[in-house]
Amino acid sequence: MNEHLLERGHPSDGLSGADTPVEALLACALEHYDAGRLDAAARLCRQVLQREPERADALHVQGLLAFRRGDFDGAVAAIADAIRRDPQARYYYNLGTVMAAHNRPAAAAECFRQALALQPDNADTYNNLGNALRALKDCEGAVEALGTAIRLRPDHAQAYNNLANAMLDAGELEAALDGYRAAIALRPDLLEPHDNLLFALNYSAAAVPQVHFDAARRYGAQAAARAVPYRSWPTSDGARPLRVGIVSGDLKHHPVGYFLESVLRATDRTRVVFVAYPTRDVEDDLTQRLRPLFAGWTSLAALSDEAAARRIRDDAIDILVDAAGHTIFNRLALFAWKPAPVQVSWIGYVATTGLDAIDYVLGDRHVLPPEEEAHFVERPWRLPDSYLCYTPPRDAIVPGPLPQLAGGAVTFGYFGKLGKMSDAVVRVWSRVLAAVPRSRLLLKASELAGAYAVRRTRERFAQHGIDPARLLLEPNAPRGEYLASYRRVDVMLSPFPYSGGTTTADALWMGVPVLGIRGDRFVTHICESLLHTVGLSDWIARDEDDYVAKAATFATDPAQLRLLRTGLRMQLIASPLCNAPRFARHLEDAFHGMWARRADRAGDVASPHD
């Protein structure tokens, strides 16, 4: 939480009684708090408040204790009570931190501003204010606040990391990469900037795969340095199904959840049972559908990497799947502890993790061609069809008529992160718009809820001669409304090098063809894999010139687009991409193949944990 607490004296353990000064009681409570002995801290704090009910610093500590125990209302009430009695910067700071942790960014920002009014030179407060403003889609305000934090404290690695996040939101990829590298140079031991750099490198056409591989290796070395890996495990003797654990922060409305649901329903539980390890306690209706499909469900949110690894090992997991990679809410570092004898990267990431402890990356022949195996620390394991299985949406939304027939102009579309719109993508899409007179580009992205991102997006296209009036810029929307937005698009454009996965499948479901481009890395091959699997290989361009030519040709052939509009959904349903039983058999075979290969290797040595 990075709490701003109190000045400590020299507390002694075991203080109690009416003769003990309240300052000593409170200092001892804080010592217990820092050590995680929350019950002892709460007991001493109650003693202080019994003697001095109006004491603001004790109320503040009471609020911090409530926060650590997950009592949001209690934390807010106690810290707000402290502020009413004695408004101090650290109290506002911690109230803002509580608000931010419970997704109240507007309230958090106001608290941080109040703290800065009392203590205007605090870099940590500017850092947190920047994060709150970013959550409010105020990218410009976030950049200003985080820049101030860095000016106040030039060695503030976390502020560099967070400034890079804000720049990425605005589509400023190179500035974001510079920020992450600056954070790593200051604090190479912090894993978060490594995670963010690696994820952002997927957006960069200029970053060759070797650059990505080397950066992932540096992350892997940092994660391995803080782990003591297990070397023996409770194992399957073949008499029971394989136990496969899935570690993910996205067992909800998220691409991971969408691609998992139908597979879990189709799994043969005499061969494989899945156990869920969510990394955060956020649930929705999809979570409620997924939960019964797992044989076990254990949150890792409150556990350290060591404790999480111990729990997974004790659960006798045979194969542990990372479904996050270097995305937000990952717990990739716990894999360095090797809590399962076989570990796999699948479904949640698009490049190497950099961890030697992960044995395999699960893909297909399109995303993992033999000539690109050197891009991965992990060994490739290829499924026969696509490495993804699409769960059709429950929303009963039909594709609708071709938009250009009603409006007379072609509408291209892209629904996804602005970070994927590299400079090369903006240049090529501008060429597409120039090649198709009167055409428009509909962009939907969560970042476009902010004025700064809207302005910068228009400016980026204007640099290539595109009138801002030809850009339809909209924020993201709930899933049903998002799917309905495809009815407004004639042809979807997949970006590069980070191509569309979920958005490609959703577009095909809504009868909208997607134009992809051949790439030289996993992340670009995702769209290729989906298009090949569905039978749309002719929608994959050879290079940028071919991309522009195909876009112009396909978009101005309304007869062909009408055929696709009416038949593409059934084509998708009939393909292996929507054949969950077939996919589940292939996945089960893959896991059993990995297990058999492990059994053929030499026996394990004794573990220092045993």
- Superfamily of domain 22-201 in CATH is Tetratricopeptide repeat domain (1.25.40.10)
State which H helix or E strand residue 67 sits in.
helix 56-68
Of 257, 255, 319, 251, which Cα lies nearest the Cα of 279?
251
Residue 280 CB burial class (10 angstroms; 0-12, 13-18, ≥19): middle
Q: Are 115 and 89 in contact (CB under 8 A)?
A: yes
Residue 92: phi and psi, rounded to 5, are: -60, -40
204-208, 227-231, 380-384, range with the lowest pLDDT: 204-208
pLDDT for the residue numbered 238: 67
Alpha-carbon distance 260 to 257, whole Å? 5
Residue 23 identity: E
Q: Are 85 and 54 in contact (CB under 8 A)?
A: yes
Q: Are 590 and 387 in contact (CB under 8 A)?
A: no
What number is the average pLDDT over the span 32-37? 78
From residue 265, how far is each of 121, 245, 273, 594 by CA, in Å? Answer: 55, 16, 11, 22
pLDDT for the residue numbered 70: 85
From residue 94, how far is each of 29, 67, 108, 129, 340 by CA, in Å? Answer: 17, 10, 9, 12, 38
- Confidence label for 356 from pLDDT (cuts 50, 70 and 90): very high
Encode burial over 468-506: b for 16+ CB neighbours within 10 A, e otherwise.
eebbebeebeebeebbbbbbbbbbbbbbbbbbbbbbbbb
**53 pLDDT exceeds 90?**
no
- Confidence label for 28 from pLDDT (cuts 50, 70 and 90): confident
Tell me whether domains 22-201 and 242-389 share a fold: no
As given in the structure block, the two tokens for residue 355 are 């961890």
- Residue range 403-578, CATH number: 3.40.50.2000
**609 pLDDT exceeds 50?**
no
Alpha-carbon distance 252 to 245, whole Å? 17
Name every residue whose Cβ is closer than 8 Å to that of residue 521 and which is 6 or more positions away in sequence. Answer: 209, 212, 351, 372, 375, 497
3-state secondary structure of 492: strand
pLDDT for the residue numbered 4: 54
pLDDT, tens digit, 9 for 90 and up, residues 92-143: 999 999 999 999 999 999 999 999 999 999 999 999 999 999 999 999 999 9
pLDDT for the residue numbered 221: 97
pLDDT, tens digit, 9 for 90 and up, residues 179-192: 999 999 999 999 99
pLDDT for the residue numbered 11: 39
What number is the average pLDDT over the span 551-572? 97
What number is the average pLDDT over the span 584-604? 85
DSSP β-ladder status, 319-322 and 242-248: parallel
Q: Are 63 and 94 in contact (CB under 8 A)?
A: yes
Of 169, 150, 145, which Cα lies nearest the Cα of 160?
150
What number is the average pLDDT over the span 349-375? 98
Of 401, 394, 506, which Cα lies nearest the Cα of 444?
506
Omega before 437 cis (within 30°)?
Answer: no
**381 pLDDT exceeds 60?**
yes
What number is the average pLDDT over the span 542-554? 98
pLDDT for the residue numbered 606: 30
Mean pLDDT over the full length of the chain: 92
Q: Are 382 and 547 in contact (CB under 8 A)?
A: no
DSSP β-ladder status, 319-322 and 342-345: parallel
Alpha-carbon distance 362 to 588, whole Å? 12
Name every residue whose Cβ is closer than 8 Å to that of residue 116 and which is 6 or more positions away in sequence. Answer: 89, 122, 125, 126, 129
**6 pLDDT exceeds 90?**
no
pLDDT, tens digit, 9 for 90 and up, residues 285-311: 999 999 999 999 999 998 999 999 999
pLDDT, tens digit, 9 for 90 and up, residues 513-534: 999 999 999 999 999 999 999 9
pLDDT, tens digit, 9 for 90 and up, residues 258-279: 999 999 999 999 999 999 999 9
Site of tokens 């910068």: 456
Name every residue whose Cβ is closer than 8 Å to that of residue 349 and which is 6 or more positions away in sequence. Answer: 322, 323, 324, 325, 326, 327
What number is the average pLDDT over the span 196-224? 95
Residue 348: phi and psi, rounded to 5, are: -105, -5
pLDDT, tens digit, 9 for 90 and up, residues 465-497: 999 999 999 999 999 999 999 999 999 999 999
pLDDT for the residue numbered 18: 59
**562 pLDDT exceeds 60?**
yes
Residue range 242-389 in CATH 3.50.50.60: no
Strand spans (E) along 519-599: 540-541
Residue 408: phi and psi, rounded to 5, are: 80, -5
Domain ranges of the chain: 22-201, 242-389, 403-578
pLDDT, tens digit, 9 for 90 and up, residues 433-469: 999 999 999 999 999 998 999 999 999 999 999 999 9
Alpha-carbon distance 561 to 490, whole Å? 7
Site of tokens 């993992």: 368
Calculate what percentage of the chain has a pLDDT beyond 70: 95
pLDDT for the residue numbered 528: 97
Tell me the whole-structure pTM to 2 decimals. 0.90
